[in-house]
Structures are given as C-alpha cells and as structure tokens.
Structure 1
Amino acid sequence: MSDGYSGKDLGADDLYFVPLGGTGEIGMNLNLYGHKGAWLMVDCGITFGDPRLPGIDVEMPDPAFIAERRDDLAGLVLTHAHEDHIGAVPYLWEELRCPVYATKFTAALLRRKLAEVGLLDVVPLTEVPLSGTFSVGPFEIELITLTHSIPEPNAVVIRTAAGTVLHTGDWKLDPDPLVGDNYDEARLKALAEENVLAMVGDSTNAMVWGEAGSEAEVREHLLQVVKGLKQRVAVACFASNVARLETVIRVAEDCGRRVCLLGRSMHRIVDCAREAGYLTGHQPFLSEEEIDYLPRGEVLLLCTGSQGEPRAALWRIARGDHPHVGLSAGDAVVFSSRVIPGNDTAIFELQNSLARAGIDVITDHDHDIHVSGHPGRDELIQMYQWVRPQVAVPVHGEARHLMAHAEIAKQCQVPQQVVGHNGAVIRLAPGDAGIVDEVSNGRLIYDGGRLLSQNSPVIKGRQKLMFNGAVAVTLVLDERGQMDGEADISTVGLFEEHEEEEDLAAVGIAIQEAVQRLGRRERKDDAAVEEAARLAVRRTVNRLLGKKPMTMVHVIRFE
C-alpha cells in the first residue's frame, strides 16, 4: 500500500485503519477504515491556530489521500459535536462529497455550521437515533451511548466481514452526568461476547491516575463558591460543555441570580441544546441590556473566553470594550475549565488583567470546579476489562499519551498494541495487526476564506516575516545600469528608531557596492541586480542583528 493505492483491492478479509488527524496530537481528528473496496470516515475536526502561525485561527487535516478516492468513500460518521471532531466538515465536505451521519444534537450544531457556508441544503446529513444501527456501504454501524463533556457522545461499533472494531470517540465514565443519558454499561459488556478485533480509543488522560470525576461533584462545589460571592459573578467555561452550562444555570437559580449569556458560541450551543431537548425548564435569560437594572448580587454572567481568546466575551469585558457589560472591583470571575496546553500565556494574561482591576479570580486550583471529559487510567482499565479486544490502537493524544495508553492495554492483557501516527496504514486484519505503509498526510490552513497547505509560500512567508522581519528596497538605475542616487530602503520589525539611520546607511552602502561589482551585462539584467541587492541586504542585516530578513527588491530603470 502506498500513496498510489486505490483501495479497490480491499477484499472481504481486509480491514485497515488510517488516521489522517488526531493521532500523535490532540485535536483535528480524522479517521479512516478501509474494507471490501470502500472507506468509512469517522470524525472530521479542526484544531485552533497557535502563535507559530500568525493570523491563523483554524487548522485541519489534509484529506488528499481520501479525497482522491472519494468515489470509494461510503460515508462520514460523527461521534459527537466538539469542534475537533466536526469542525472541518464545512471546509472539507466539497472535497469528500459523501453522506454524513450524526445524532440529534450533533446534527443540530452541524446544520448551523453548514448554513454559514451555504451547504445546508447540499450536504446529505442523516440524523440517527441514540443507540441506533445503520449501514454505510459494507460497514454495519452501531452507536453506543457514553458520557463526555457534551451531549450525545457515541462509541461507534464497526462490524465488517473481517472483524469488529470499537471506535470509542471521546468519553469518560460519569456515574451522574446530569445532562443526557448515562453510559450504556450493559451494551459495552456485551461486546466481550463478540470477540472484538480492535479498540481504537481516546488517550488524552492515559497519564492521569484515577478517574475523570463527575459533573455532579462540580455542581456541588460550584454552588458553594457562588453562594459565598456577594457582587456580580461571571463564570467562564467551554460553551460546548452543556452539562456545565446546566450546572451554572442551576447554581445561579439556587443562589437567587438571573443568568445572562455572553458570546456568540454560547447562544448557538444553548439553541442547539434546546432543539435537542436539553436545557429546559429554566428562567428566561437576561439580555445584555437588562443586567444593569438588577442589583449586582442578583446577576450571573455565563461567558465564553475561558481559554483567553482575544475576541471572546470575557476578554472584551476585561479590556472594557464590551458595549453593554462591565465588571468592577469586588466582582468575581470563576474559571470552570482547565488550561489547555498552549493557551497558558493568553489565559494568565486575562486573569492578571482581571486581578489588576480588583476582580476576584477563582480557578480549579482554588476549588474543585472542573472535571475532565476524558478517561483516566482507571476508566481505561475498566473499558478494556469490559470489551476485551484483541488489538488496542491508541488515538486522540500526543506520542507520550499514546505510549501510556498502549502500556495500560498491555497490562490489561490485550494481546497486541499498535501505536500509530497520522498517515500510518494499520492493518487490523488479516493476520497480526501492525503498521504496513504510509499515506500522504499533513495540515491545511484556513486563511482569508481559502485553504492553504501548511507548506504554502503564504504561510512560510508570514512565519519568516514574524521571526526575521522584512526589508523592501527600491533601486533606480540609468541607461548604463548605474544607480541613480541612493537605494530607498524600508524595514519592518528590525531596527529601533534611534539605530535605524546608521544601520540603514550601512545597508545602503552594501547594496551600492554589490551593484557596482556586477559586470555591465549583469547590471542590465533586472534579475541579477535584484539578487545582488537581496544578498547584500541579508548579509548586512545578519552581521548587524543576526537576522536574515525577508527581502524584496524592486528595480526601476529610465532611459
């Protein structure tokens, strides 16, 4: 199997697993199963940009391998509604053009995303019931209800002539999830009787001892925290954590407070939850314009921005540029969420800004007001004891998480463990499981309404500009190829104002000398002049600053 592999030689005895995203990283999950001449995709998600990609908000897996084989792509099954599992569908579906399957809440959220890009009436989206069974090409699918930090998380049982796979999606074992159904323990235990070939599973917390914890415990602790606060309270959490939204709303009502939703995604998730039958029976929410009519001790703001997102509601409040809502000294902000690695700097900057304004900042380091949505080691052990697969394939984690997960599976006496990576072709059947080949993989970057390769000159140029600055040079040459006056030089991100005049003079002299060293014929060749000037700039700036800036040279000639 190689990049040229067509998939048409997949027989009834063949079963392959190919992750294109989410294996060796946390986020942007995209998984493929190949069997009997067809492919099944499970999840199609995004991850969010990081400081190494200036101006980029969204990244996603490059689907080139399966896009080239889309005639053999039987369908896409979505395990749940988190962005790292469904967020890429609006961006990538036109390359895939396959049927999509999701349960009610996930479908409600996806429809809103598709409507934003004009695909609502184009994508064939089938809503399937919880615990439903259906066929996608040669794959027989069964959904098993689990618990997570969003409604309707599903494990996907994939039955084929070559064997049965349990794809867990994201999950934990919450004995009291508060919103949605509990996990289906009986159905999970029953899988052991089917001789499950492989379990492809969540590794996020494989290095965390114990269990994730219950949302019911969070509600109790959050109630005690809010009861002790006297002025206006803002609670920041993930909008997608509907159980947490339910908790915050109940806590507010128990404390005699009215809730105001702040942030576009908060409103969107609440609308979807209600459409699916969740978050009912509460008092009407306050509008942003109404909160100042109530005493400060009777208001609770439920905000986006727990990860320090600069355009989210909480940062706008902290900066004082929210049009309707403000916080004052003596008010409190409760962060009912964890710090996602990579967001540390932005979150701490937000929290420090609030603290400087005299606002009380409360986090999960102060009280037990957050639990993870992913299984700890004890829960992973329990799942393996129930399902008893022949092969363990860890996904949804960085390399260290995958290795820790594989070790747990080994200790649980799972006969084979296969630790893969994005692009690995893992044969599950026939014979022993293992990595047998590689396929093309990578990332696409969403920028300015277009999808770019992670190796695009646009991205590389922006990174170079961020790390090394830029120089623009204009040269005017006469009919003999001699410079007419000095070079016009502009820089970005290189020189302080007080040092610029002297250093630019040195750059100008280097350019002039480089052009003078060219032969008569070369001086009449724009490309040769531009290259000589470019090298002179980069060498001089490197000598002065240790930087090799992006350099653009424009040659103007007159007769």
Structure 2
Amino acid sequence: MSPDHTDLWFLPLGGCGEIGMNLNLYGHDDQWLMVDCGVTFADPDQAHQPHVQMPDPAFIAERADHLAGIVITHAHEDHLGALPYLWRRFKGRVYTTAFTAEVLRRKLVEFNLAGQISIEVVKPGDRRQIGPFNVEWLNITHSIPEPQALMIRTPVGSVFHTADWKLDPAPVIGPPIAPKIFQALADESPSAMVCDSTNALVDGHSVSESELIPGLRKIIENARGRVVVSCFASNVARLVTLMQAADQTGRRVALLGRSLKNMVSAAKATGYWDSKHRFIDPFDLGFFPREHFMAIATGSQGEPRAALSRLAKDTHPDLTLEAGDTVVFSARIIPGNEVLVDALIRALKARDIIVITAEEAGLPIHASGHPAADELTQMYQWVKPELAIPVHGEPAHMAANAKLARIAGVTRQLTGQNGDLFYIKPVVGIRRKAVATGRLGWDRDALIPLEIEQ
C-alpha cells in the first residue's frame, strides 16, 4: 500500500480513538512523514502489563526506506516518549524545536543513542522540505515550551495539523496565541485540519495559565505547615507560576522528583528559566521551619514510585510530612488514573494531611492545555479547512469535535480509529482497518507485543 503522486493520505497508528500514544503518518508520492511518536502508561487494572506502552510501528518499519522524516511537535511523553524505544526500527531524521530537542537528547543518553539520531533543530515560522512534504512550524499555546502546530503542504493538497493546543492569551512561558497566524491559513483553503479532541466535550474556553496565581497564592498563604504541590513535570509554565506564588508568600522551594529536575534543567539550557527562580536542596528541607518552604513533587497521577506517593507512605528520604501539612494537586486526573489518585489521597488524609484538589480549590489552580468547545469553534472559523479529522480523543470526544466543526462551517468531517486510512486527496474518504495496529510494551529491556483488554 503506497500513495502515488496524486494522493494525500493520513494514517494514525496511535492516538486516534484514544488519548495519548500519538503516532501519525502522512502519505504522498510513495513517501511517508511521521508526526510524533509517543507513549502511554498501563491502566491500574492492568498491573500485569508493562507500565510503558507505545504504538506498534510495524507498518512504517516495513517501509523505512520510504520514511521522509520524523517531526516532533512538542516534548510531552505522549508525543515524544516512544522515539528512543522505536527509532532503531525505522531510523528517520528528526525535526523539532530547541527545547524539544534538548529533552529528547537527554532521553537518548539513557538508551545509548546519544549522537546516533540526526536531529535538525528548527524555529517557529521555519519551513523545511522533507521529501515531498513542505512543513511549516507554527507557534501555538499549550502546557510546555515551544508547542508547534504544523502546516504540511504537498503539490496536491495541504493539512493543518494542530497537535496539542489551546488559545491562551497569557501562557506565562512563550508568546501568546496569535490569531493572524491561523487566519492567514484560510487564504489557501487547507485540504484538511487534523485536530486535538481532548476537551471537545467541555463547554466554553480553557483557563489561561496566568489566571492561576491568585488561587495558588491563597492556598499557600492559608497553610500553617509545610506545603507540597504536585503537577505535571513537563508543565514548565506551572513551575514558574508556583515559583511566583512562593515568592509572594515568602516560601523557599525545593524540587522532589527526577523528571522535574530534568525538565527545569532543559528549560535552563534553552533560556526558558529565569535565573532569579532558585531552588533549595531537598537535603536542606529538614532545617527549614514548616511555614517557610514549599516542595514541588512528581506524582499527581498517583504513580507508585513518584515523590508524592513516597511522601504519603512516609518513605521519602528527604522529607517527612506531618498532620496539618498541606498537599495541593495542581493537575487534572488523566482518565484511567482515578483509582491510583483516590488511594493516594486517602493515604494522605489518613495521616491528617490537608489535601486540596483542583476541583475543590474554589479559585483556579490548574489550567488544561487543551481547547474547550469555544476554542475549537474559533480555530475552525479561522482556518476554514475543507475537511475536519478529529484525533487525540476517545470516540465521544472525536464525535463532539466533528459536530463543532460542522456547526463552524466545515463541510466534511471524518472520524475513525488507529489503522483507518483517511483519503484527503484526490477524493475524500476513509478505508476502515486498512492497517493492522497494536501496542508494544517495554518489559525487561525488550519490546513485546501486547494484547489489550477491551
């Protein structure tokens, strides 16, 4: 199965019909362009499965000679994390921005791939000819530095690929959303828009990252003991927000968790971390009065080996929590992690530790990185694609996204699953289950095929 010079195809191997584990292929003129290569993690009820899971890349691995290149849109694990595991199977050149490249290089060291993968660093606004695909990187806003949407052009048609995004006028790190960038795309009538569906069922507009300081500051001011805040390690903007709130309340900050330290290190290396935001060493936490410090910890999703779980069990080497201390969840619960998070909260409360979640805080203390319904509608109205292809969501999310596109004036919508082949040019259509898909798990330093329970 190979596209000819008149074809423009879209083939998702991961991330379509599910949230996470994104791996997308675009086909034209006997070549394929890979966009993102991410992981997901086993559900709590699948404890017998390997924790790290990723799409099976067999289709493109068998056609590695026809892989024009690999574009990584941003540094979140569900878009980047599988590349060190899978790259040897297809060995493509990687194109990405400086921050994402910095995060990727650190991962490659762990897999003995340092210096082996050719990484071309691009800037927002750049265009590169990658085989028959002309790719333009477009600044967008999300919950990590340098998120990029893509405009993928070929002689027969074009695709606006959103990746993860929101419309944030004040994202704390990076430039605010610039409507003119996307309005200008309408002039060339993109053949399709492949779009994030994560929050399509959420009414209204997502909260801006800049709106979180009042809520976080109020919690910290009212706390009488130690404060521990847990958030996604990759959300560098949230780390900056927390540092600002700590400064305003007279608390010093320590980082608990390897992934947090790695992300801050990458931010420093690429100019996204202000030198005035300094941390104390976790070893010194025991010498600070309880009311004078705050810890930022990994483990907002209840991960058993993360810092927050170790604090709940009182097994963390650097910090012991006591009754009256406060733990704040500045993150949403990813669907599937409810059991782990509930167990973690119960363990904390059993020790009379005060727990505050984003749902209970009153004022906003978490901002999603994905577009709600009004933002989806706005983007469709700006870009005016001929066809909408919702991805990055479960079927209900994608159906809601397609409905919003239709209401916004997009005349055609196609929804499908991993392995479905979407025909964009010359004729719009879909071939169900055109390609066999599956998952691989990382188990004892090897990749193994998985049977996923439905």
Q: Would you say same fold, with TM above 0.5?
A: yes
Q: What is the aligned partner in structure 2 of residue 44 from structure 1?
A: 37
CA distance in 2, matches of 1:293, 1:425: 60
The alpha carbon displacement at 1:435 in A equals 3.1
Are 2:341 and 1:347 aligned? yes
Q: Give matches, 1:113-132, under 5 Å.
A: 113-132=107-126
Q: Give the corresponding residue for 1:140.
A: 134
Is the CA contact 2:419–2:432 (under 8 Å) kept in the aligned structure 1? no
Given that residues 257 and 307 in structure 2 are in contact (C-alpha distance below 8 angstroms), is that contact kept between their aligned partners in structure 1? yes
Shift of 1:437: 6.0
1:128-186 Cα shifts (integer Å, max 9, x gaps): 11222111111001011111111111101000011110000000001110111222321
CA contact (8 A) 1:364 1:370 kept: yes
Match of 1:22 among 6, 15, 34: 15
- The structural deviation recorded for 1:310 is 0.5
1:418 pairs with 2:402:
no
Shift of 1:420: 1.4
**CA distance in structure 2 between the aligned counterparts of 1:391 and 1:434, rounded to whole angstroms:** 12
1:41-440 equivalence runs, <5 A: 41-50=34-43, 51-54=45-48, 56-367=50-361, 368-435=364-431, 438-440=434-436
The corresponding residue for 1:451 is 447
**Which amino acid in the other structure matches residue 89 of structure 2?**
E
Secondary structure of 1:289's counterpart equals: helix
Distance 1:274 1:28 in 2: 27
SS at match of 1:155: strand
**Structure 2 CA distance, aligned partners of 1:448 and 1:173?**
41
Q: Distance in 1 between matches of 2:450 and 2:122?
A: 35
Once the two structures are TM-superposed, the CA of residue 93 in structure 1 deviates from its matched residue by 0.2
Structure 1 Cα separation of the partners of residues 247 and 432 of structure 2: 57
The within-5 A match list for 1:460-539 is: none
Q: Deviations along 1:115-140, whole A, 9 cap, x unmatched?
A: 11011111111111122211111100
Deviation at 1:283, TM superposition (A): 4.1
Mapped to 2, the partners of 1:268 and 1:298 lie a distance apart of 25
Q: How far did residue 308 of structure 1 move? A: 0.6
Q: Structure 2: which 5+ residue stretches go unaligned?
A: none
Where 2:87 maps in the other structure, the secondary structure is: helix
Amino acid at match of 1:355: K
3-state SS of paired residue (1:284): coil
Given that residues 427 and 436 in structure 1 are in contact (C-alpha distance below 8 angstroms), is that contact kept between their aligned partners in structure 2?
no
Identity %: 49
Greater RCO (CA < 8 Å, at least 6 residues apart): 2
**Helix, strand or coil for the counterpart of 2:9?**
strand
One-letter amino acid matched to 2:377: I
Aligned mate of 1:35, from 22, 28, 45? 28
Compared CA separation, residues 361 and 53, structure 1 to 2 (3 A): closer
1:426 touches 1:437 (CA, 8 Å); kept in 2?
A: no
Alpha-carbon deviations, 1:195-227, whole Å to 9, x = none?
110000000011110011101111221112111
Cross-structure match for 1:494? none
Q: Per the alignment, in what secondary structure is the counterpart of residue 397 of structure 1?
A: coil
Displacement of 1:55 after TM fit?
Answer: 5.0
Residue identity opposite 1:41 in structure 2: M
Larger radius of gyration: 1
Do the aligned residues in 2 keep the contact of 1:270 with 1:279 (CA within 8 Å)?
Answer: yes
How far apart are 1:230 and its partner, in Å?
2.2
- Say which SS state the counterpart of residue 453 (structure 1) adopts: strand
RMSD: 1.4
Alpha-carbon distance in structure 2 between the residues aligned to 1:233 and 1:171: 30
Residue deviations 1:278-324 (CA, integer Å, cap 9, x gap): 12132421111111222111110000011110000011111111112
* CA offset digits 1:471-527 (Å, max 9, x no partner): xxxxxxxxxxxxxxxxxxxxxxxxxxxxxxxxxxxxxxxxxxxxxxxxxxxxxxxxx
Q: Is the 8 A contact 2:381 2:409 kept in 1?
A: no
Query: Deviation at 1:26?
Result: 0.4
Q: Measured at CA, do residues 436 and 233 of structure 1 come closer, stay the same or move farther in structure 2, by a change above 3 Å?
A: closer
Deviation readout 1:315-346 (Å, 9 max, x if unpaired): 11111111121111111001101111111111
Task: State the number of aligned residues.
Answer: 451
Instruction: Please state how far the C-alpha of 1:239 moved relative to its aligned partner.
Output: 0.5
The alpha-carbon deviation at position 436 of structure 1 amounts to 6.4
Preserved contact between residue 391 and residue 433 of structure 1 (Cα < 8 Å) = no
**Aligned mates of 1:351, 1:282 — CA distance in 2:** 33
Q: Is the 8 A contact 1:15 1:33 kept in 2?
A: yes
C-alpha displacement of 1:53: 4.5
Answer yes or no: is the 8 Å Cα contact 1:420–1:435 preserved in 2. Answer: no
Shift of 1:11: 2.5
Aligned AA (2:289):
P
Tell whether the 8 Å contact from 2:420 to 2:430 is kept in structure 1 after alignment.
Answer: no
Secondary structure of the 2:389 match is strand
**Alpha-carbon separation, structure 2, partners of 1:66 and 1:12:** 19
Q: Secondary structure at the match of 2:212?
A: helix
CA distance in 2 between partners of 1:184 and 1:103 (Å): 19
Structure 1: gaps (5+ residues): 464-559
Q: Is the 8 A contact 1:394 1:419 kept in 2?
A: yes
CA distance in 2, matches of 1:194, 1:140: 14
Is contact 1:204–1:397 with CA below 8 Å preserved after alignment? yes
Letter in 2 for 1:296: R
In the alignment, residue 29 of structure 1 is paired with which amino acid?
N
After superposition, the C-alpha distances for 1:376-401 in whole angstroms (9 at most, x for unaligned) are 00000000000000000000000111
Distance 2:440 2:277 in 1: 43
Distance 2:199 2:359 in 1: 18
SS at match of 1:24: coil
